[in-house]
Amino acid sequence: MEETTEAHMISLMKDPVSRDKGFLQLMDSYKEPIYWHIRRLVVSHEDAEDILQETFIKVYRFSDSFKGESRIFTWLYRIATNECTKHFRKNKRWIDKAVKIKEGMTGEWTGSDSEDGDAILVKFQHAILQLPEKQRIVFNMRYYDELSYEDIGQILDSSVNTLKTNYHYASEKIKQYLIDHA
């Protein structure tokens, strides 16, 4: 997203007359990447949709609090990630639900060859689900969203070194899971 476009959307959102227009532009621009960020964390489409809605409700409500000290996408990712974390804490059994969804997908994705690319993808997703919450979030942001450690640091309010350590441990645990379940 271009810096001037972000600035334009924020200025529209801060003006009471054009607030809704700016919000709709922001939502149109970021809805898909934020949805997929959430979906990778919570797995369930329904949960991802609910969390996405909560995220944008918060964005709308608190748009005046955005100071412009970070990029808009890091602010959005932070809100979405916080909403996911709230979801995890509220729904302690979400991981069981996520594993069942992944297992259901296994039948759809895999063919007669149990070691084809889709089966490996399913194992990879299972490995990610086994990670502790912070490692899973950092891994998803770095691996799937290809965010820099600096951006992730702004989103999670964490140091780059801590994030690198989390990513390293997550990668090692995923590798070990794949070896153990080969």
pTM exceeds 0.85 for this model: no
33-57: average pLDDT: 93
CATH of the domain at 125: 1.10.10.10
| pLDDT for residue 54 is more than 90 | yes
Q: Which domain holds residue 128?
A: 95-180
Among the three residues 55, 90, 125, which one is the final residue of a domain in this structure? 90
Domain-ending residue, one of 90, 109, 125: 90
Last residue of one domain, picked from the residues 55, 75, 90: 90
Give residue 138's pLDDT: 96
Q: Looking at the structure, do residues 72 and 139 belong to the same domain, yes or no?
A: no
Residues 101 and 123 both lie in one domain: yes
Mean predicted confidence (pLDDT) in 37-61:
93
Three-state SS sequence of 15-76: CCCCHHHHHHHHHHHHHHHHHHHHHHHHCCHHHHHHHHHHHHHHHHHCHHHCCCCCCHHHHH
pLDDT at 31: 96
